């Protein structure tokens, strides 16, 4: 932002005038006010989205694929006045849509991305993802809140990446411990096993699903509780501090993951 101030919503002093966030949702009753400045999509369009092209090129030097967090912002994004105290004061603004990805495809030759399409998802977001043929995301921890949820394993589709939980969720063990008794019983009835091995039961449910890719966070592989949670949405401090203990990843864990990967034909 500092180097390309003309591409962001800033005042004459370089301070944000509009900032990012999301409206009230599953994680927070007042929404999430992130505070980072918003893009000037009109100016980015005038450059052929050159800044975004270079950003994605650099990311692909480091990784085979990139996850586009908050993918819905490319269809429409939540714009909040910089002086607001909560995200409730925001409004929806149109994103760049297909035009951005046409420029990226022309420069990169393809779109090696995963679309994080969680939260408040409207039909225009789904239409954009499908037009770009990008996989979306599903989170198994969300799949037991209701019997018709799209995150339940038997309702998954091939064109998604399924996670037991993401960086914004509690660990599976911590999540399970906080459920009411009826929901805990429903989870175990569905995935099998016992409360003691629920982390691996959800990992197995992810890997045996039809989703093209399954992701199990390290904390679930290590079967850790809420003390290992990575992030609490809407909370500004105390996040991203968890580190795996030295020697935590044992040969036996590697063999267990390998067996499950082989059994579900998910090996490279």
Mind telling me the catalytic residues?
69, 116, 168
- Rounded-to-integer distance, Cα 156 and Cα 165, Å: 15
How many Å separate Cα 111 from the centre of its chain?
18
- Rounded-to-integer distance, Cα 73 and Cα 68, Å: 10
Query: Is residue 16 helix, strand or coil?
Result: strand
53, 107 contact by CB (below 8 A): yes
160, 206 contact by CB (below 8 A): no
Name the residue among 41, 44, 56 with its Cα closest to residue 106.
56
Name the residue among 97, 157, 164, 162 with its Cα closest to residue 132.
97
Q: Can you read off the two tokens belonging to residue 80?
A: 């909040």
- Rounded-to-integer distance, Cα 208 and Cα 200, Å: 12
Phi, psi of 78 (to 5 degrees): -90, 115
Query: How far is the CA of 136 from the CAs of 67, 130, 261, in angstroms?
Result: 10, 9, 21
- Determine the length of the chain: 268
């Amino acid at each position: 932002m500092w180097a390309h101030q003309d591409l962001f919503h800033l005042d004459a002093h370089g301070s944000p005038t509009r900032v990012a966030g999301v409206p009230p949702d599953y994680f927070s009753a007042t929404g999430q006010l992130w505070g980072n400045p918003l893009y000037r999509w009109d100016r980015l369009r005038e450059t052929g989205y050159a800044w975004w092209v270079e950003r994605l090129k650099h990311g692909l030097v480091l990784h085979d694929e990139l996850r586009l967090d908050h993918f819905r912002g490319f269809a429409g994004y939540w714009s909040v006045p910089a002086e607001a105290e909560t995200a409730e004061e925001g409004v929806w603004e149109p994103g760049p849509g297909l035009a951005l990805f046409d420029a990226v495809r022309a420069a990169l030759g393809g779109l090696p991305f995963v679309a994080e399409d969680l939260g408040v998802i409207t039909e225009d977001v789904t239409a954009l993802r499908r037009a770009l043929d990008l996989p979306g995301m599903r989170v198994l921890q969300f799949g037991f809140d209701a019997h018709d949820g799209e995150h339940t394993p038997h309702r998954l589709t091939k064109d998604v990446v399924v996670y037991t939980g993401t960086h914004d969720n509690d660990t599976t063990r911590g999540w399970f411990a906080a459920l009411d008794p009826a929901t805990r019983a429903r989870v175990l009835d569905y995935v099998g096993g016992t409360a003691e091995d629920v982390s691996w039961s959800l990992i197995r449910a992810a890997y045996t699903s039809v989703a093209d890719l399954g992701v199990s966070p390290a904390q679930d592989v290590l079967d850790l509780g809420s003390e290992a949670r990575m992030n609490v949405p809407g909370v500004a401090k105390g996040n991203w501090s968890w580190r795996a203990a030295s020697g935590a990843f044992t040969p036996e864990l590697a063999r267990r993951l390998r067996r499950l990967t082989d059994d579900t034909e998910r090996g490279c």
